[in-house]
Chains A and B, each alone.
Chain A
């Protein structure tokens, strides 16, 4: 290619390893997460000899990827991780898949055995590009040092352009040692360029539909967050201009403020009653940057049966994948919302106020059910209460929340309020237990002065607890808020609902003493089991300048409600304290 020849002639000469560090600097990378090994030693040697890029030594490669995800989601910039060949790369697979399903831009650099040994079953050799092909947006094996620079810049471009996602660049050790030509950031080929502007006619059609809608609802998702802060700003303007109610997926929390007038709360399997009923009853469904995931839709053939559906998404494959769309708009959320707002105000359009008032009254009725109410206790800490107190004591702070996966995650989504985008990091699509702790490490690296809390369950947390070493080494004051029920709570809940209360393997008989565990790592441990002590204990956690493991012993058999049982529709939610026997029928039992 001509670009390549040019760079070969005009670029600076340097080793592949130096080129890696130079390319990261040229991309404005300030932090990388990684773990050294034989096949990346030349890169680590170069990292040692510079001060622009901070390297965070994680304790397991999965932790590096989740930390990079946390960094990316809380900053909007791509996260970067470096792993060695073989086991280093295979340990990255869960994190890559997690980032793929949640559309998180991360760039992973993996070492590889030298090119002349590839295919010989060399020590720590794995077919990394083969293994990671289905769990990355794109990946590359670089066999010539001359191509390394442009490939790295292309990798950053692909990770962040269009629908973001993880990419991996596999770099053999001889390519790191050899000298080649580096032509800077401009040398990448610019062919990959997903369109960002939506079709004008479709946007006009949506504006017309909004004018006549009697029961409209915005259904927003992670695409709004991924589109950048401008998208959240425009979304708020659009909601203010129309007065339409708005709900969001787990991934989209914070794009519209939880304190906002039109906020319905999260929708979906453990979403709020008013949000799901609004989805079911609406006549215009405006999906913005969400993808009709099975956690959202419930039973497909009963999903929002009487609505016109508009769908704004940057990925054409998201449209009509699950739910038939009437007004498809392919484009970046911020670009489309800007055009939509223009189309809305330029035409001097007005909503049907009378119908909207009726719709709001209906929603008010649903809201009055108070679906998040729970029976509190003065003897044992209810997990919902713990989160209510955490919310009350931290909501006015500069706060970032990560979570693990399970009941605590859903309770956190229900009981914590998010006012801004990029403040909520949780594993939505893949549901990766062990995500939250390393993600909190990545968030804290990006925001050293902010309060970073990982809301966890004890089982998830143990999956990546080795990262305590990282937190202590880098003096990261991450707060591990563990709702400890000594159970795999969500598994237990499903066994209760679906498997005749046979609790197969869903509890742990040998949990560590979390306070001693914290102390063993050189951190602080706090145990709290009495609701009366909870506020003081949370304050003690917040006041401590360093990592804390907060072992909050909670009610062991609490279930997470409301809930749409598998195979049921939005208007068939289970509320708390009701009989849950036979809630899931045979058809729903096969669903996850």
Chain B
């Protein structure tokens, strides 16, 4: 019909799609925001107000002198919804940049988690052995418990949690995903 190349609309993260698909996709977004009061509430309010999903969200200041924070956000939806989410995020005044890491190229995603595992005897030995296999660190220990620190993809942490549960997992804290593009170029 009309020959318009993908992304021919300038100035936005908006990409041309021929049709809307109903298949839900999982996307990791990097959102660079002004570090000012209420900015996180604006982002979260957008998701709750418009009925979008947040699977994981992490935020911290990345540039103190420039007052910049980076929000790494994992969300899911149909391609149309994902495009809407990016466009809506882009409208928020203190949002500087919105990057869809999932479409912009290969990325590394990591999450940190702390596990408290309580047990004695063979369970305790097995927990330690598995922690070694998963390259988890012991960051606290008593005669009847460990606190493991583990870093990896969300899948790896899910797998470790499944293994620890029968061995006495009593408490779990996860940071949510932080993500960067692979390669030498800074995309964000």
B14 to chain A: closest residue by CB = A316
Fill in one digit per residue for B13-25: 1 if any A CB lies within 8 Å of its CB, else 0.
1101101100000
Known: A195-B11, A329-B9. A209 touches B2 (CB 8 A): yes
Given contacts A199-B8, A327-B4, contact A158 B87 (CB under 8 A): no
What residue of chain B has the Cβ atom nearest to residue A321's Cβ? B84
Q: Which of B4, B17, B90, B93 is close to A137, meaning CB atoms less than 8 Å apart?
A: B93
What is the CA–CA distance of A158 and B91 in the complex, to the nearest angstrom?
11
Chain B residues positioned under 8 Å from A134 (CB to CB): 45, 49
A324, B10: Cβ atoms closer than 8 Å = no
Residues of A within 8 A of B49 (CB): 134
Choice from B10, B11, B83, B88 contacting A320 with Cβ under 8 Å: B83
- A192, B137: Cα distance in complex, Å: 45
Checking A308, A324, A330 against B12 with a beta-carbon cut-off of 8 angstroms, the contacting residue is A330
Question: Which interface class (under 10, 10 to 19, 20 to 34, 35 or more) fits A?
Answer: 20 to 34
- A317 B84 Cβ-Cβ under 8 A: yes
Contact with B along A310-327 (1 / 0, CB 8 A): 000001110111001011
Contact with A along B52-88 (1 / 0, CB 8 A): 0000000000000001000000000000100110011
Given contacts A133-B42, A141-B37, is CB(A330)–CB(B93) below 8 Å? Answer: no
Say whether A324 contacts B19, CB under 8 Å: yes
Q: Which residues of B contact A130 (CB under 8 A)?
A: 38, 41
For residue B135, CB closer than 8 A to chain A, the reply is no
State whether A308 and B1 are in contact (beta carbons under 8 Å apart), knowing that A133-B45, A316-B14, A319-B14 are contacts in the complex. Answer: yes
Q: Does B187 contact A (CB under 8 A)?
A: no
Given contacts A202-B9, A320-B83, contact A129 B19 (CB under 8 A): no
Find chain B residues with CB under 8 A from A205 CB: 2-4, 8
Q: Is B1 a contact partner of A326 (Cβ separation < 8 A)?
A: yes
In chain A, residues 509-526, which have Cβ atoms closer than 8 Å to a Cβ of chain B? none
Q: Which residues of B contact A141 (CB under 8 A)?
A: 37-38
The docked-state distance in angstroms from the alpha carbon of A308 to that of B2 is: 9
B4 to A202, Cβ gap below 8 A?
yes
Minimum Cβ distance to chain A for residue B85 (Å): 9
The CA-CA distance from A129 to B1 in the complex, in Å, is 48
Residue A592 at the B interface, CB < 8 A? no
Partner of A317, one of B3, B9, B19, B87: B87
What's the nearest-Cβ distance from chain B to residue A22, in Å? 24
Task: Report yes or no: B9 in contact with A199, Cβ–Cβ below 8 A.
Answer: yes
Partner of B11, one of A129, A191, A330: A330
| Interface check A346, CB cutoff 8 A | no
Are B91 and A201 touching (Cβ within 8 A)? no
Task: Tell me whether A328 is interfacial, beta carbon within 8 Å.
Answer: yes
Interface of chain A residues 246 through 291 with chain B (CB within 8 A): none
| Interface residue? A138 (CB, 8 A) | yes
Determine if A316 and B19 form an interchain contact, defined as CB atoms under 8 angstroms apart.
Answer: no
Asked if A133 contacts B9 (CB within 8 A), the reply is no
For the complex, give the distance between the alpha carbons of A184 and B146 in Å. Answer: 60
Q: Are B10 and A199 in contact (CB under 8 A)?
A: yes
Determine if B96 is an interface residue (Cβ-Cβ < 8 Å): yes
Query: A192-B93, A195-B10, A205-B4 given as contacts; is B20 within 8 A of A328 (CB)?
Result: no
Chain B residues positioned under 8 Å from A330 (CB to CB): 9-12, 14
Return B59 CB to nearest CB of chain A, in Å. 17
Chain A residues with CB below 8 A from B45, complex form: 133-134
Question: Interface readout for A126-148 with B: 1 if CB under 8 Å, 0 if not?
Answer: 00011001100110010000000
A133-B42, A134-B49, A330-B10 known; A319 vs B87 contact (CB < 8 Å): yes
Chain B residues proximal to chain A, CB less than 8 Å: 1-5, 8-14, 16-17, 19-20, 37-38, 41-42, 45, 49, 67, 80, 83-84, 87-88, 90-94, 96
Q: Which 9 A-B pairs have the closest CB atoms?
A: A317-B87, A138-B93, A195-B11, A316-B12, A316-B87, A199-B10, A328-B9, A317-B88, A201-B8
Q: List 25 A-B contacts (CB under 8 A).
A: A130-B41, A133-B38, A138-B93, A138-B94, A158-B93, A163-B91, A191-B96, A192-B93, A199-B11, A201-B4, A202-B4, A202-B8, A205-B3, A209-B2, A316-B12, A316-B13, A316-B90, A317-B84, A317-B90, A319-B14, A320-B17, A326-B1, A326-B4, A330-B12, A330-B14
